[in-house]
């Protein structure tokens, strides 16, 4: 085929050259000379500089057309593609990967399904403007007494990839400004409006849980669940200055009351300590007195029991035996000392007693 094209081009060139030499294509008179050259036609090279070069040019032209038309698109992880055909969105979003489209007729809109953050703050933070982070003014609401209160919080959420196409079709590409932001402000307004400003700082954890619950329920109740709420963090509660001053005064008064109560408790403890010490001294004295009395009683009881035992052991024969012993000792004493004396006890209930008067310092008593 290529050779036939080359031959046809060569024959056409020969034809035009022959016509030129013959002055073909008609003659034009010049000044009545009766002759002259006819019009000259440019030489046409239909070989395109050779067969291979022509094919290369053709392929390059096709590639350029494809690049400019871009009949494909690439969806990355954390993204979904919304395919629009003549302005109508497809129901199912395009998953990550390579997708071919029809240029001009079809168009793909890429949406982000990664976690996004909205910071509601009174001051712009350093990371504001980073990818996926949006800064919003703090939510200003009225408390139960219509005092203005600013609530700072952070909301983490993401687009529900399962219904991404429906969400974009219903809410548009600014869906988060139409869903997340209004819901957050409405829920915070309803929750904070039930309490006094003074009580808010003491109920921080309860308020945070109540706000998160309200936002989660409101977002999930929307058709096709357009967004998935990750978390809601209550960061700060900014009160009016007069409320802060009042709270400070109340805190100072409470601290003074607590200090007074502590002083009273300290005085009571000291009094109880002194009373306990006095009671301890009195108890010690009572114990010592009771110990002495018990010792005397025990000693008296012991003596009484001893005397009772002795009394029970003194029989008539035992007394006679003792008298005989004393009489024997007296007889022995008379052999050495005629002045020895003996005292006889009447009735014989006790032994007789003798005294050796020879030595005044030596006296012996027998019982």
Three-class SS of 174-203:
CHHHHCHHHHHHHHHHHHHCCCCHHHHHHH
Residue 366 lies in a domain: no
Q: Looking at 46-148, list the stretches that DSSP marks H as alpha helix, in order from N- to C-terminal side.
A: 51-69
363 occurs within a structural domain: no
**Nearest CA-CA partner of 139 in 241, 278, 232, 11:** 232
Is the residue at 76 inside a domain?
yes
* Mean pLDDT, rounded, for 328-345: 68
Ranges of beta strands (E only) in the chain are 72-75, 79-85, 88-89, 97-100, 106-112, 116-121, 133-137, 139-142, 148-159, 227-238, 341-343, 353-355
pLDDT of residue 355: 60
Same domain? For 92 and 64 the reply is no
pLDDT tens, 11-28? 545 554 555 555 544 444
**Average pLDDT of the segment spanning 112-120:** 91
13 lies in the same domain as 45:
yes
Tell whether 361 is covered by a domain.
Answer: no
Q: Which residue has the higher pLDDT, 37 or 108?
A: 108
Q: Provide the pLDDT for residue 169.
A: 87
What span, in angstroms and rounded, lies between the C-alpha atoms of 348 and 274? Answer: 67
Shared domain check, 198 and 138: yes
Q: Does residue 95 fall inside a structural domain?
A: yes
User: Is 236 or 69 the better-scoring residue by pLDDT?
Assistant: 236
The verdict on 259 and 201 lying in the same domain is: no
Pairing of strands 341-343, 227-238: unpaired
Domain edge (last residue) among 204, 239, 274: 239
Domain co-membership, 227 together with 340: no
Instruction: Note the pLDDT of residue 6.
Output: 39
**How many CB atoms are located within 10 Å of the residue 107 CB?**
15
- Write out pLDDT tens, residues 239-273: 888 777 777 777 787 888 888 888 888 888 888 88
Same domain, 171 and 89: no
- In terms of average pLDDT, the best of 64-73, 126-135, 257-266 is 257-266
Mean pLDDT confidence for 73-87: 88
Tens digit of each residue's pLDDT (9 = 90 or more) over 204-230: 899 999 999 999 999 989 988 899 999
Residue in the structure block whose two tokens are 């002055």: 23
Is the distance from CB of 111 to CB of 164 less than 8 angstroms?
yes
* Total domain count, the chain: 5
Confidence check: pLDDT of 9 > 50: no
Answer whether residue 272 is part of any domain: yes
CA pseudo-torsion sign 307, 310, 314, 320? negative
**Residue 292 Cα to chain centre, angstroms:** 69
Rounded to whole angstroms, the Cα distance separating 218 from 221 reads 5
Supply the pLDDT for residue 119.
Answer: 93
How does residue 51 score in pLDDT terms, banded at 50, 70 and 90? low
Same domain? 79 vs 165: no
Supply the pLDDT for residue 150: 92
Token pair in block for residue 41:
């036609």
Q: Is residue 367 part of a domain?
A: no
The pLDDT value recorded for residue 18 is 56
Residue 201: inside a domain, yes or no?
Answer: yes
CATH number, domain containing residue 169: 3.30.479.30
Residue-level pLDDT at 344: 59
Structural domain of residue 61, as residue ranges?
2-69
214 and 152 part of one domain: yes
Same domain, residue pair 283 and 325 = no
133 and 148 share a domain?
Answer: yes
Asked if 319 and 330 count as a contact pair (C-beta separation under 8 A), the reply is no
Distance (Å) of CA 112 to CA 80, 92, 181, 226: 7, 15, 18, 13
Nearest Cα to 338, choosing from 365, 356, 325?
A: 356
Residues 120 and 151 in one domain: yes
172 CB burial (10 A radius; 0-12, 13-18, 19+): exposed
- Compute CA distances 187 → 144, 182, 208, 216, 217, whole Å: 15, 9, 11, 10, 10
Q: Indicate whether 249 and 219 sit together in one domain.
A: no
The fraction of the chain above a pLDDT of 90, given in percent, is 19
Last residue of a domain, one of 112, 143, 175: 112
Give pLDDT, residue 342: 62
Mean per-residue pLDDT over the chain, rounded: 77
Mean pLDDT value across residues 70-85: 86
């Amino acid at each position: 085929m290529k050779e036939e094209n080359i031959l046809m081009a060569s024959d056409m060139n020969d034809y035009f050259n022959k016509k030129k030499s013959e002055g073909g294509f008609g003659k034009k008179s010049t000044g009545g000379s009766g002759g002259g050259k006819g019009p000259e036609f440019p030489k046409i090279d239909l070989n395109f500089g050779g067969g291979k070069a022509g094919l290369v040019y053709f392929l390059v032209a096709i590639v350029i057309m494809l690049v400019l038309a871009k009949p494909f698109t690439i969806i990355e992880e954390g993204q979904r593609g919304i395919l629009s055909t003549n302005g109508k969105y497809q129901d199912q979003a395009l998953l990550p990967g390579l997708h071919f489209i029809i240029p001009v007729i079809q168009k793909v809109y890429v949406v982000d399904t990664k976690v996004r953050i909205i910071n509601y703050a009174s001051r712009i933070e350093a990371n504001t403007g980073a990818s996926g982070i949006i800064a919003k003014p703090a939510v200003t609401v009225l408390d139960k007494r219509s005092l203005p209160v600013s609530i700072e919080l952070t909301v983490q959420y993401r687009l529900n990839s399962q219904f991404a196409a429906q969400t974009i079709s219903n809410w548009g590409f600014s869906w988060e400004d139409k869903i997340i932001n209004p819901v957050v402000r409405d829920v915070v307004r309803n929750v904070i409006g039930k309490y006094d400003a003074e009580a808010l700082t003491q109920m921080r954890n309860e308020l945070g849980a109540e706000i998160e619950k309200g936002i989660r329920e409101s977002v999930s109740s929307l058709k096709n669940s357009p967004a998935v709420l990750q978390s809601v963090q209550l960061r700060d509660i900014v009160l009016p200055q007069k409320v802060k001053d009042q709270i400070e005064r109340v805190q100072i008064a409470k601290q003074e009351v607590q200090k007074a109560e502590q002083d009273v408790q300290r005085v009571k403890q000291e009094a109880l300590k002194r009373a306990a010490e006095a009671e301890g001294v009195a108890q010690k004295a009572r114990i010592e007195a009771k110990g002495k009395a018990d010792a005397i009683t025990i000693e008296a009881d012991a003596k009484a029991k001893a005397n009772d035992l002795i009394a029970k052991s003194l029989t008539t024969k035992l007394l006679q035996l003792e008298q005989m012993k004393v009489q024997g000792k007296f007889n022995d004493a008379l052999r050495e000392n005629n002045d020895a004396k003996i005292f006889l006890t009447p009735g014989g209930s006790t032994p007789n007693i003798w005294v050796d008067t020879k030595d005044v310092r030596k006296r012996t008593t027998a019982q």
